[in-house]
Amino acid sequence: MDKKQILLAEDEFTARKLLEFQLKRLNIVFDSVETGSDALEYFRRGSYKLVLLDEYMPGLNGSEVAREIRKMDPTIPLLAMTSDPEAIPRLKEAGFREVFVKPLHGKVHLDIILGYLS
């Protein structure tokens, strides 16, 4: 099975479209979904180098998805996005290596993503 580089889950469409645009420009191959349960389904079926999850999504949130992914693959890098700093302890506990506090202005997040992929 071909390994895609990133699985992206973000329900807010402007953030998702912007990230998709930025990843495409960097020639990064990715799957993009809108819910936590879709992210889990894609992860079970696919193979990825990195997972980028929004925390606040309808249904399963990013932390819950991360815990499930950890059970299947304890080593895959998990990166979180949140606009709520109060969520940070929960995200750390769920096993995220990086937490990006939204909005993601600038390109620091892309540098960090590229760092993991290389």
Partner 1 sequence: MIILYSMIIIQLPELIGKIQNDLSAVGIQPTIQHTYTDPAKGCTIHDPDRIAQVLTVFFIQLESALQGRSCALQWDYQGGTLSATLQGIFPSERETVLSRTRVSLQCIGGTLTLEQEGCQLTLPLPTIPPPSRYPPKDPLEAFLETSSIEPLKNLTGNTSEGKHPIFDPTILQQACPDEEFSQQLLEDFLSHCKTLLLELEHLINHGEDLVKIHRIAHSIKGGGLNVGAFRLAEVARWMEQQAKAGKTEGLQKALHLLKDEELLLECAYREYYGQEANPPG
Out of 71, 75, 105, 118, point to the residue binding partner 1 (CB under 8 A): 105
* Position 12 contacts partner 1 (CB under 8 A): yes
Judged by CB under 8 A, the residue of 49, 67, 70, 102 near partner 1 is 102
Q: How many CB atoms lie within 10 A of CB 19?
A: 22
Contact set for partner 1, span 33-52 (CB under 8 A): none
Extended beta strands in 10-63, E state: 30-33, 48-54
**CA dist list (Å): 102 to 50, 82, 105, 112:** 19, 6, 8, 15
Q: Which amino acid is at 17?
A: K
Tell me which residues touch partner 1 (CB under 8 A). Answer: 11-15, 17-18, 21-22, 25, 56, 58, 83, 85, 88-89, 91-92, 96-106, 108-109, 112
